[in-house]
Every structure is written in C-alpha cells, then in structure tokens.
Amino acid sequence: MSTWLVFVVIGTVSGVAAGLFGVGGGLIVVPALIYWAGFSQHMATGTSLAVLLPPIGLAAALEYYRNGNVDVTAAIVIAITMFLGAWLGARIASHVSGPHLRLLFGIFVCCLGIYLVYGAYERLR
C-alpha cells in the first residue's frame, strides 16, 4: 500500500471515529502511523499533534452543538488546560526514549480501555 493511501486511510478512519466517539488523534493516528507507516513513537506523536492544529473537529463539533450536545464552558476550559498539558507532555516526552514512550502509551491505552469497558459493563447490569 502506498504511503499516501495509508495516510488517507488513517485520516478517514480517525475522522469517522472522532465524529462517532470523540477520539482519533492519539488512540488511532499514533498506533496507525507506527505500525502502518513505520513512524517512530516520537514522530507519530508529533505528527498526531500537528494534525490537531487545523480545526479538524470543528465540523463534527458544530453538528453536536446544533443538537444541544456541547457544553461550551467545559470545552473552553478543557481546551485551555489541554494546551498547557500538551506543552508539558511534549517537554517530558523529549526526555524519554522511544521504546519507553511506546510502553507508557500502551499502558495508558490499555488502562483506559479497561476503565471504559468496566464502566460500560457496570451500567448494563
């Protein structure tokens, strides 16, 4: 598969996931860039963050807003603090080796997955 086609697939899948679930950047783009495009952990993380620069989620956010499903105050506060947190995380990541960063990312995703599955299971009971 050509590199451009890989990027198109990653963009399409992460865009659909963002619209459906509010995820995409880190959970889909980073692993896909590592395993499908051969990026290093640092390059995949940086590229994923660069993708967020344009208003990628704006179209989906407007649709959710039209349906009354956006808390504007929460979105503003989270965006501001996320800006600061992303800067801090990038500073820390520059001091962590690629393999260690990949391990930490994997642990984070697994813990998040367990938490989400357990919470959904509890609500279904």
pLDDT over 90 (residue 88): yes
Whole-number pLDDT of residue 31:
93
| pLDDT for residue 24 | 72
Give tens-digit pLDDT for 93-120.
999 999 999 999 999 999 999 998 999 9
Q: What is the pLDDT of residues 9-28, one digit of tens each?
A: 999 999 888 888 878 778 99
What pLDDT band is residue 82 in, cutting at 50, 70 and 90? confident
| Range of the structural domain that residue 16 is part of | 3-124
The pTM is what? Answer: 0.78
Closest by Cα among 49, 116, 57 to 89:
49
The percent of residues above 70 in pLDDT, for the chain, comes to 99
Q: What's the domain count of the chain?
A: 1
On average, the pLDDT of the chain sits at 90
